[in-house]
Chain A
Amino acid sequence: MKNIIVRLRNIEKIYGGKSVIDHLNLNVARGEFLTLLGPSGCGKTTTLRMIGGFEDTDGGQIFLEDKDVAGKAPNHRDVNTVFQSYALFPHMNVFDNVAFGLVEKKVPKAEIKKRVDEMIELVQLQGMEKRMPSQMSGGQKQRVAIARALVNRPKVLLLDEPLGALDLKLRKQMQFELKELQKKLKITFIYVTHDQEEALTMSDRIAVMNEGRIEQLGTPVEIYNHPKTKFVADFIGESNIFEAYIEEKKGNRISLVMESGKVELDAPDFEYDEMVYVCVRPENMKASMEPRDGFTLRGTVMEHIFVGSTIKTIIELPSSQLVKMTNPPEDEVIPVGTNVYLHWLPQKTVVMHTREDRVYEIIEGAGNEKEEQ
């Protein structure tokens, strides 16, 4: 495929006999902003470092524009990295930091000056060329690190939790700026983070990783609205996840039995007698005083938590499972202790198989050819 700039094929990484990356397949399209998202230890940084050339693969291939880059050192790959710790050269000023890569490539002095100046302007650090890294704030250092990588015009920019050390407000601003920068320069970004909100706001596509594998690959909307596994539903945003048994199927309509009640909804892909997970986002959860058609879930209102833009209500089911529900603050608040009926729009339900055939689903989700059994 012409549009694919980075192709990971069955890559593996083993540390001390333990597999940390397990036959991972991933295609990154030219110019896209792809995020590797997952909890710490899921292998996202290792994957990034293998693309950058800082770690060897223990199996599989990495293609950069259809060229196998296995065994090539980072200085021979057309990618650049923005490190979590910025990794600025402490003994060089901003200008020299940014110019480093160009000096190494023996670019003529006049051109270096021109390109570095352009880059410094792009990241809005004009007038700071002579500052030393130690004289700068975290946000400014981050900009230097980004400029230092981008000035080399890499085919792909790898970013390893670049905003992890910044405070919330600055992080939000930098998220926006990074996204703008990426759109403007049309450079492919592969971005590693454990912050799901960051991933959702910035990415064109997200690869949710867990235990060395990609659980799901898709656009932020797909990932949020249609998680394919319990892990994804749990990790991205808040979810109410119920275990359920399909006791009946009529046409597309299935009847689910849960510990605390019954639900009926349309789910064509599921069969009678199957165990499934049912996932409902808190913002889709509704409570009422009267039972609704198709729902027999009951619970007791336990607590209201004011979280600014919404009010979060915790409802306890007879099984002692806690259900989260968020409502706009102007909605009427049901008093604590009231018994309520839970319901939601059936089309807002996500039903997931319990068996973990994740590899199939990744590939289907990405719209790529099947590569593995």
Chain B
Amino acid sequence: MKKKKIGFRPLALCYACLFYLFLYLPIAVVVAFSFNTSQLNVTFQGFTFEWYGRMFENVQLMQSFFNTLIVAAVSTLLSVILGTLCAVGMYRFKFRGRETVSNLLYIPIVIPEIVLGIAVLAFFTMVKIQMSMATLIISHVTFSMPFVVITVRSRLAGFDPSVEEAARDLGANDWRIFRRVTLPMILPGVLSGAMLALTMSLDDVVVSFFTTGPDSMTLPIKILGMVRKGVSPDVNALSTLMILGTVLIMLAATFFEMRMEKKEEA
């Protein structure tokens, strides 16, 4: 169905502007203050790159930033591997309790994060594991893996099983079928799952708060701690860089997806 073209409608335009203002004004403020000469996030006094320099000198801030990146990278990788295997396994095999397994997967998504955080903390304490980078990564995998499973399963939903049969018929073994046929076909789902897992891990506060060790402070937690003393402009600077980074990743992902879709459909 062709969408109807609409003419100029001032009210609708106003609404749209307000809508986007609401979404992006706070972000714009952060970006603006990262270039502010004043220490205080109240008035804009002058333009400077000073805080970008200061940011790199702030060892603790940098350390927590790298921690965040490591945790995000490793937990995303693990979530993608485990989640994809899980989704493919559940697609391929019919077994008793398959529905239950499938439903259980969604629980970490639904339950409040604070509950998950406490649960993970209680568990690690019970089995006497010291909080560290490892516990942090494990807890991140816990909440991001189900998202990978969901995106990959939705991709598998329209999957013609005879394509895998054809690959087997042509002499491929299980691994080769996965490598040459299944994985390339579900790749868009895997990638969007990875994107979700990555963003979830990057900005997680609640679960991380419970499971982080003394040496593995992540950026969100660090910033949360700093806020008590007021947000310093170098945090604004780091945030601005992170926004830039996120936008770039998103653009890259969109571009990649468009190219793949073109390849599939065109």
CB proximity of B239 to chain A, nearest CB, Å:
39
Given contacts A75-B172, A75-B173, A152-B171, contact A91 B166 (CB under 8 A): no
CB pair B170–A135 under 8 Å, yes or no, is no
CB pair B167–A100 under 8 Å, yes or no, is yes
CB pair A132–B264 under 8 Å, yes or no, is yes
CB proximity of A53 to chain B, nearest CB, Å:
8
Chain B positions within 8 Å of A152 at CB level:
170-171
Is B54 part of the contact surface with A, judged by Cβ < 8 Å? no
Most chain A beta-carbon contacts within 10 A, residue among B162, B163, B166? B166
CB pair A134–B264 under 8 Å, yes or no, is yes
- CA–CA, A73 to B174, complex, Å? 11
Chain A positions within 8 Å of B163 at CB level:
87-90
Q: A129-162 vs B: 1/0 string, CB under 8 Å? A: 0001011000000000000110010000000000
Residue among A53, A73, A87, A105 making CB contact with B166, cutoff 8 Å: A87
Chain B positions within 8 Å of A100 at CB level:
167, 170, 172, 180
Chain B positions within 8 Å of A74 at CB level:
165, 168-169
Is A81 part of the contact surface with B, judged by Cβ < 8 Å? yes
CB pair A75–B169 under 8 Å, yes or no, is yes
Is B184 part of the contact surface with A, judged by Cβ < 8 Å? yes
Is A83 part of the contact surface with B, judged by Cβ < 8 Å? yes
CB pair A134–B265 under 8 Å, yes or no, is yes
Is B266 part of the contact surface with A, judged by Cβ < 8 Å? yes
- CA–CA, A61 to B176, complex, Å? 29
Is A60 part of the contact surface with B, judged by Cβ < 8 Å? no
- CA–CA, A87 to B169, complex, Å? 11
Given contacts A87-B162, A89-B163, A89-B181, contact A132 B263 (CB under 8 A): yes
CB pair B266–A134 under 8 Å, yes or no, is yes
Chain A positions within 8 Å of B172 at CB level:
75, 100, 104
The closest CB in chain A to the CB of B162 belongs to: A87
The closest CB in chain B to the CB of A145 belongs to: B166
* Chain A, 101-144, CB within 8 A of any chain B CB: 101, 104-105, 132, 134-135
Chain B positions within 8 Å of A193 at CB level:
none
Chain A positions within 8 Å of B167 at CB level:
89, 100
CB proximity of B169 to chain A, nearest CB, Å:
5
Residue among A54, A73, A80, A85 making CB contact with B170, cutoff 8 Å: A80
CB pair A148–B162 under 8 Å, yes or no, is no
Is A52 part of the contact surface with B, judged by Cβ < 8 Å? yes
Chain B positions within 8 Å of A73 at CB level:
168
CB proximity of B168 to chain A, nearest CB, Å:
5
CB pair A87–B160 under 8 Å, yes or no, is yes
CB pair A52–B169 under 8 Å, yes or no, is yes
Chain B positions within 8 Å of A53 at CB level:
169
CB pair B176–A104 under 8 Å, yes or no, is yes
Is B185 part of the contact surface with A, judged by Cβ < 8 Å? yes
Chain B positions within 8 Å of A52 at CB level:
169
CB pair B185–A90 under 8 Å, yes or no, is yes
Residue among A54, A85, A101, A134 making CB contact with B171, cutoff 8 Å: A101
Most chain A beta-carbon contacts within 10 A, residue among B168, B169, B184? B169
- CA–CA, A54 to B263, complex, Å? 30
- CA–CA, A80 to B185, complex, Å? 22
Chain A positions within 8 Å of B266 at CB level:
132, 134-135
CB pair A104–B170 under 8 Å, yes or no, is yes
* Chain A, 52-73, CB within 8 A of any chain B CB: 52-54, 73
CB pair A75–B171 under 8 Å, yes or no, is yes
Q: B202-245 vs A: 1/0 string, CB under 8 Å? A: 00000000000000000000000000000000000000000000
CB pair A91–B168 under 8 Å, yes or no, is no
Chain B positions within 8 Å of A88 at CB level:
163, 166
CB pair B166–A81 under 8 Å, yes or no, is yes
CB proximity of B167 to chain A, nearest CB, Å:
7
CB pair A91–B169 under 8 Å, yes or no, is no
CB proximity of B66 to chain A, nearest CB, Å:
36
CB pair A83–B176 under 8 Å, yes or no, is no
Chain B positions within 8 Å of A85 at CB level:
160, 162
Chain B positions within 8 Å of A101 at CB level:
170-171
* Apart from the given pairs A80-B170, A88-B163, A104-B172, 5 other A-B contacts in the complex at a CB distance below 8 Å: A81-B165, A81-B169, A91-B263, A134-B264, A149-B169
In order of increasing CB-CB distance, the 6 nearest A-B pairs are A101-B170, A104-B171, A87-B166, A87-B162, A91-B184, A83-B162
Binding site for A on B (CB under 8 A): 160, 162-163, 165-173, 176, 180-181, 184-185, 263-266
Binding site for B on A (CB under 8 A): 52-54, 73-75, 80-81, 83-85, 87-91, 100-101, 104-105, 132, 134-135, 148-149, 152
